[in-house]
């Protein structure tokens, strides 16, 4: 019975006990979704959260969790994580197999002597080149994923087999990018795969050296033996600190051009090659992996929502309202919306403006008093920026903003209305109704959630003609 209850609970809520990163991930996913599709229907959830003893970040997280559970994003997150794990497992298997193949290519079939320099280059050349590129990219503070990271994301999306899971990856990247954690996430992935590849190469070397006879030589047409003696002595210093023997100069010279057949020389060169792979391959990758893991873990502990984003500021007004709206009791003018930017500064003057009116709407409206200035319809970004700069330089006492209620309220329009209202001591949105009462109701609910007073009527409201006092 207990097992059945657990299975049912997991089916209803796949994220019954989400981690902190998963909660923040869903918050960012919901935020991006609302930026693209508009505000979600969350009135019931918001009402519940207002009565719970939670602070603002916790309320935002709980709202995202409940919306995700309702709309299927919680299950999509589980699918995305499963796809990421499967993709990582597949890449790990390929890395180990690639490392073993690299060892086989470096040593060959044992019928011919192994060229030491070619073998060393085959085992460590690409690794050292990728390591140098990673250091250069990290020094340039690049945020984009490495090729291994792009491959992992692509495989994760394919293995998740969920349309919503594909949309979750950008939200995670944006969340981590806010703290510069992208580079460390992909660094952990890159170093892990390279470490597995080098471990596969080490396992391949051990297996091949234990099961076959190999002779080792060095060959060169231009360089004499003295260059190889100095080079191999230099390369042997660090492995010698780990207990790997360094070939004596006499052995290096006698290995030029001919393979030695005595077992001691073969074992010495085998240990030297293993020491090179361990010292210059495995250990640097392991150290960088541990360093990247520490940086990623430290950043994740400090990771939190950016409450200064406009989307979260609007949520703050809804989840922690400064006052409860009791409804309209009479036809008196709506209460003023005090400016958050100029609360201590009393504005002067009045203005009527309009945002994205339909061309069929006459503008300026009929009945406008001659002493009330009226701006053009704000249709372009340049017009909006110009008016905002004017209001920033000279705040108003009263501002009436006309909106066409036949259009749908979106986040961009609501953000503009709030920004315009912030430069006036008192502001009001004039909704010009259309034939669709549901669209007008959507506007009224959106304005109420944003904390903006409104009046819905065809005629010009007399509110703008009231005294500035």
| 382-391 own/partner pairs: CB under 8 Å, 24+ apart | 384/416, 387/353, 387/420, 388/419, 388/420, 388/423, 391/420, 391/423, 391/424
Q: Binning pLDDT at 50, 70 and 90, where does residue 101 land?
A: very high
Tens of pLDDT, residue by residue over 305-356, are: 888 887 888 888 778 764 443 333 333 333 333 333 443 345 688 899 998 7
Instruction: Give residue 346's pLDDT.
Output: 59
Instruction: Give residue 44's pLDDT.
Output: 75
Mean pLDDT check: name the lowest of 53-62, 88-97, 192-201, 387-396. 387-396
> Which is nearest to 164 in space by CA: 63, 75, 37?
75
Instruction: Give residue 79's pLDDT.
Output: 87
Instruction: Give residue 141's pLDDT.
Output: 59
Instruction: Give residue 7's pLDDT.
Output: 37
pLDDT, mean of residues 285-307: 92
396-404/350-355 β-pairing: parallel
| Domains in the chain with CATH codes | 75-302 (no CATH), 327-465 (3.40.50)
| 247/338 Cα distance (integer angstroms) | 82
Beta bridge partner(s), residue 402: 354, 430
Q: Binning pLDDT at 50, 70 and 90, where does residue 428 land?
A: very high
Instruction: Give residue 86's pLDDT.
Output: 93
Residue, of 235 and 342, whose pLDDT is higher: 235
Mean pLDDT across the chain, nearest whole number? Answer: 81
- Give the tokens for residue 183: 């580079």
pLDDT, mean of residues 191-213: 93
Q: Binning pLDDT at 50, 70 and 90, where does residue 151 land?
A: confident
Mean pLDDT check: name the lowest of 40-44, 235-239, 414-418. 40-44
- On the question of pLDDT at 379 being above 80, the answer is yes
- On the question of pLDDT at 201 being above 90, the answer is yes
Instruction: Give residue 3's pLDDT.
Output: 39
Q: Binning pLDDT at 50, 70 and 90, where does residue 144 land?
A: low
Residue, of 54 and 221, whose pLDDT is higher: 54
- On the question of pLDDT at 287 being above 90, the answer is yes
CA 80 to chain centre: 14
């Amino acid at each position: 019975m207990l097992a059945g209850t657990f299975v049912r609970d997991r089916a209803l809520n796949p994220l019954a006990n989400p981690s902190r990163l998963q909660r923040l991930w869903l918050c960012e996913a919901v935020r991006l979704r609302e930026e693209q599709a508009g505000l979600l229907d969350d009135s019931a959830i918001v009402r519940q959260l207002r009565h719970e003893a939670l602070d603002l970040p916790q309320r935002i997280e709980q709202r995202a969790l409940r919306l995700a559970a309702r709309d299927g994003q919680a299950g999509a997150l589980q699918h995305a994580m499963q796809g990421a794990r499967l993709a990582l497992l597949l890449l790990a298997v390929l890395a180990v197999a690639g490392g073993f193949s690299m060892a086989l290519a470096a040593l060959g079939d044992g019928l011919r002597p192994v060229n030491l320099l070619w073998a060393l280059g085959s085992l460590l050349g690409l690794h050292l080149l990728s390591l140098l590129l990673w250091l250069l990219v990290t020094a340039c503070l690049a945020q984009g994923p490495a090729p291994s990271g792009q491959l992992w994301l692509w495989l994760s999306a394919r293995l998740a087999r969920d349309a919503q899971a594909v949309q979750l990856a950008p939200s995670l990247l944006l969340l981590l990018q806010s703290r510069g954690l992208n580079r460390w996430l992909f660094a952990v992935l890159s170093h892990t795969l390279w470490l597995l590849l080098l471990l596969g190469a080490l396992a391949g070397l051990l297996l091949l050296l234990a099961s076959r006879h190999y002779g080792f030589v060095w060959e060169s047409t231009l360089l004499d033996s003295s260059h190889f003696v100095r080079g191999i002595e230099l390369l042997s210093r660090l492995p010698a600190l780990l207990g790997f023997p360094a070939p004596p100069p006499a052995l290096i010279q006698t290995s030029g051009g001919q393979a030695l057949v005595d077992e001691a020389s073969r074992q010495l060169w085998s240990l030297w090659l293993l020491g090179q792979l361990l010292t210059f391959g495995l250990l640097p990758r392991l150290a960088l992996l541990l360093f990247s893991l520490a940086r990623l873990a430290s950043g994740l502990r400090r990771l939190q929502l950016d409450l200064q984003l406009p989307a979260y500021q609007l949520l703050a007004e809804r989840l922690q309202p400064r006052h409860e709206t009791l409804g309209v009791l009479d036809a008196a003018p709506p209460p003023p919306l005090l400016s958050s930017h100029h609360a201590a500064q009393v504005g002067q003057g009045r203005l009527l403006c309009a945002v994205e009116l339909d061309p069929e709407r006459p503008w300026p409206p009929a009945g406008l008093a001659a002493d009330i200035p009226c701006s053009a319809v704000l249709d372009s970004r340049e017009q909006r920026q110009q008016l905002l700069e004017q209001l920033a330089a000279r705040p108003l006492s009263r501002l009436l903003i006309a909106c066409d209620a036949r259009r749908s309220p979106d986040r961009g329009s609501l953000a503009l209305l709030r920004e315009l209202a912030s430069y006036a001591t008192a502001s009001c949105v004039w909704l010009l109704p259309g034939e669709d009462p549901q669209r007008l109701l959507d506007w009224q609910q959106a304005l109420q959630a944003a904390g903006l007073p409104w009046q819905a009527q065809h005629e010009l409201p007399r509110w703008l003609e009231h005294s500035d006092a």
